[in-house]
C-alpha cells in the first residue's frame, strides 16, 4: 500500500510512501509523525493504523484543518512504540 504525503509547498509534486518505508523509519527512530494529503482515502489510513497497532505501536490519526474551507485539511498520523 502506498500513501500520498502532504506537500510542503503548493508547487511541489506529491510524494508517495509505502508501509515498508514507514516501518523502516520507525525502526530507526522509534516514533514519528507523518502528514498525509487529503487525497488519501480514509479507509487506507484506517488500514495503516490497524497495520501498526497489530505490530505493537500506538497510532493516533486526526484531521488537521489549516484554513476556513472544509477542504483545507491534511491527515496527521503519530506512531510511537
What is the model's pLDDT at position 37?
A: 95
The span from the CA of 6 to the CA of 42, in Å, is 14
All three cell numbers of 23, joined, read: 516501518
The span from the CA of 60 to the CA of 18, in Å, is 18
What is the model's pLDDT at position 68?
A: 87
Using the predicted structure, report yes or no on whether residue 10 has a pLDDT greater than 90.
no
Cα→Cα distances 8→5, 15, 43, Å: 9, 10, 24
What is the model's pLDDT at position 70?
A: 86
Q: Contact 37/5 with Cβ under 8 angstroms?
A: yes
Q: Contact 54/46 with Cβ under 8 angstroms?
A: no
| DSSP for residue 67 | S
Using the predicted structure, report yes or no on whether residue 9 has a pLDDT greater than 90.
no
The span from the CA of 2 to the CA of 30, in Å, is 21
What is the model's pLDDT at position 3?
A: 96
Per-residue pLDDT reduced to its tens digit, 33-48: 999 999 999 999 999 9
Per-residue pLDDT reduced to its tens digit, 19-73: 999 999 999 998 999 999 999 999 999 999 999 999 999 999 999 998 888 889 9
Amino acid at each position: 500500500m502506498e500513501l500520498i504525503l502532504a506537500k510542503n509547498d503548493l508547487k511541489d509534486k506529491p510524494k508517495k510512501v509505502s508501509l515498508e518505508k514507514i516501518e523502516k523509519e520507525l525502526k530507526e527512530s522509534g516514533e514519528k509523525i507523518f502528514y498525509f494529503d487529503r487525497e488519501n482515502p480514509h479507509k487506507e489510513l484506517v488500514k495503516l493504523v490497524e497495520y501498526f497497532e497489530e505490530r505493537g505501536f500506538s497510532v493516533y490519526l486526526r484531521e488537521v484543518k489549516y484554513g476556513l474551507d472544509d477542504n483545507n485539511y491534511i491527515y496527521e498520523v503519530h506512531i510511537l512504540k
